[in-house]
Structure 1
Amino acid sequence: MKRLALSFALGLGLATSAAATDIDQMTDAEREAFGAEVRAYLLENPEVLIEAYGVLEQRQAQAEAVADRNLAQANMDALYNDGHSWVGGNPDGDITIVEFMDYRCGYCKRAFPEVEELVETDGNIRFIVKEFPILGEASVLASRFAIAAHQLYDDETYKLVHDTLMEFRGDITPDSLAQLADTFGLDSDAILERATSNEVTAVLQANMELAQILQISGTPTFVVEDEMVRGYMPLAAMQQTVEEQRAD
């Protein structure tokens, strides 16, 4: 706050002498007088600090967006072509959205129907799911089950399991997952056995490492082309983000 006050005071010509342009060259008396004028000005005009913080926050947000964009661009191949993530929507779409998600994340569940609507109504979006279980053992169990189903069966089976888990409201346990598999005529024993395999572990490890590189620590996190959106985003905002990417 002292630094902000000093900057504003200097910019507004509140210095007591020419030496005030360099605080280190001030005498003790000049510093005391200068500080008193700064304090008096800010007490009379507190909105200056509010405005300054607003500008600072805007600059920080812009810097973070640039850093995120650079991270995304540097890791496009891992985001788009890792060889293990489920790819839906239009595989030839002009916009790619990657979502890092957790089946126990309330905001992921809230975003789920809106993401589905976005992809379906737009028709020109490629959508990639990254299993990113960070909310405890049940999250890991669910992700392992979904990945195992994908590896043992196909994209359609993964989509079926994924959607069901996104809408699931009960406790995620081996028994509840086995019941889910049985409902769809899948081999629950085979899926649960595969879920503990090195092949499934490798997928989760790769996703975790990529998330760490991208400095992703929460879900949902979306990467829309090279723009990173950290947290829940309502449908209208997602649509706007997609259109902005198309316009670039």
Structure 2
Amino acid sequence: MTRLMPRLSLSALAPVAAVAALMSAAAAQPVAAQGMQMSDDERAAFRAEIRSYLLENPDVIFEAVAEFERRNAAAQADMDITLVEINADEIFHDGHSWVGGNPDGDLTLVEFMDYRCSFCARAYPHVMDFVQNDGNVRLVIKEFPILGPQSEVMSRFAIAVQHLGEPAQYEEIHGRLIGWEGDFTETSARLLADELGLDPEAVLAEMRADSVTQVLVTNRELAQRLQISGTPTFVLGTGERGEMLRGFLPADEMRGRAADMRG
């Protein structure tokens, strides 16, 4: 997943946190509850015993890390379900995002994506494989440019095409931009608009329009409420409830998630 800002992984920090927690417990004088106080020598000896035990049994640390990450993932999944329920209308039926796949599908796959995101490009064929082979999935694309000015220019172009053209033209341009190499310039926009049969000047003007800006602002605000900081991020659901899938998923895993959701 491409993130808005880099951050250390929990797996990198958790071993340190586990040891720190144990040492803090040692410093907390566990016998104080019984009205006893450790002397400095007793406290030092107790800490030495903990250190010795961890050195002799390092697997304990990784067991604690695994349990920590399991609990954290479960808590995040529960929170994601709640966030989806609260924001379901804007996620699944915002009225401005492009809708593809089967418009009457029993499940909807929503993707927050950025055209400069390498993981989005990697995910693209898997998304299309899943949607096309399932045949009963509605696909919603939310333009979410977070990787700089080029990302925003490309999203503005795609939204302008959506506003001025037909759904099939947006679908075509979405597929072309996701694999775009090099800079995307005004000349690029003119050439692509002309290839689509659209007026290049009208497209360039629409790219600067308030209506396009509002789409991007609305998508960013929704992403903030959903605690989305990276792309791609997916929401798979029924239109009223669903689960968030943070990061790239292969088509087979998407099919598995869909099967579970359908029961």
TM class by shorter chain equals 0.7 to 0.9
2:80 counterpart of 1:86: no
Which residue in the other structure is 2:71 paired with?
Answer: 59
Q: Report the secondary structure of 1:207's partner residue.
A: helix
Q: CA RMSD in A?
A: 2.2
Q: Report the secondary structure of 1:216's partner residue.
A: coil
2:145 counterpart of 1:123: no
2:154 counterpart of 1:159: no
Which residue in the other structure is 1:14 paired with?
Answer: none
2:244 counterpart of 1:228: yes
2:216 counterpart of 1:204: yes
The answer to whether the 8 A contact 1:5-1:42 is kept is: no
Whole-Å separation in 1 of the counterparts to 2:180 and 2:20: 52
User: CA, structure 1 residues 2+135, in 2 after alignment: closer, same or farther (shift >3 Å)?
Assistant: closer
Which residue in the other structure is 2:12 paired with?
Answer: none
Which residue in the other structure is 1:238 paired with?
Answer: 254
List runs of 5+ in structure 1 lacking aligned partners: 10-18
Residue 38 of structure 2 aligns with an amino acid whose one-letter code is T
Structure 1 stretch 173-182 or stretch 161-170: which is displaced more? 161-170
Which residue in the other structure is 1:100 paired with?
Answer: 112
Whole-Å separation in 2 of the counterparts to 1:88 and 1:240: 21
User: CA, structure 1 residues 27+90, in 2 after alignment: closer, same or farther (shift >3 Å)?
Assistant: same
Residue 49 of structure 2: which of 9, 23, 37 is its match?
37
Structure 1 stretch 234-243 or stretch 133-142: which is displaced more? 234-243
2:27 counterpart of 1:3: no
What percent identity do the matched residue pairs reach? Answer: 49
Which residue in the other structure is 1:176 paired with?
Answer: 188
The answer to whether the 8 A contact 1:87-1:129 is kept is: yes
User: CA, structure 1 residues 184+200, in 2 after alignment: closer, same or farther (shift >3 Å)?
Assistant: same
The answer to whether the 8 A contact 1:68-1:228 is kept is: yes
Whole-Å separation in 2 of the counterparts to 1:24 and 1:51: 33
Q: Shift of the alpha carbon at 1:41? A: 2.3
Q: Report the secondary structure of 1:96's partner residue.
A: strand
The answer to whether the 8 A contact 1:23-1:31 is kept is: no
The answer to whether the 8 A contact 2:236-2:245 is kept is: yes
User: CA, structure 1 residues 175+2, in 2 after alignment: closer, same or farther (shift >3 Å)?
Assistant: closer
Higher relative contact order (CA 8 A, sep 6+): 2
User: CA, structure 1 residues 26+197, in 2 after alignment: closer, same or farther (shift >3 Å)?
Assistant: same
List runs of 5+ in structure 2 lacking aligned partners: 1-18
The answer to whether the 8 A contact 1:20-1:34 is kept is: no
Task: Please say which structure displays the higher CA radius of gyration.
Answer: 1
Q: Shift of the alpha carbon at 1:6? A: 7.6
Whole-Å separation in 2 of the counterparts to 1:138 and 1:111: 20
Q: Shift of the alpha carbon at 1:20? A: 3.6
1:114-136 Cα offsets, whole Å, 9 max, x none, are 11111000011111000011111
1:3-39 Cα offsets, whole Å, 9 max, x none, are 24687x9xxxxxxxxx748488443265444334333
Q: What is the number of residues matched between the two proteins?
A: 238
User: CA, structure 1 residues 40+115, in 2 after alignment: closer, same or farther (shift >3 Å)?
Assistant: same
Residue 38 of structure 2: which of 20, 27, 48 is its match?
27
Q: Shift of the alpha carbon at 1:208? A: 0.7
Q: TM-score w.r.t. structure 2 length?
A: 0.83
Q: TM-score w.r.t. structure 1 length?
A: 0.88
Residue 215 of structure 1 aligns with an amino acid whose one-letter code is Q
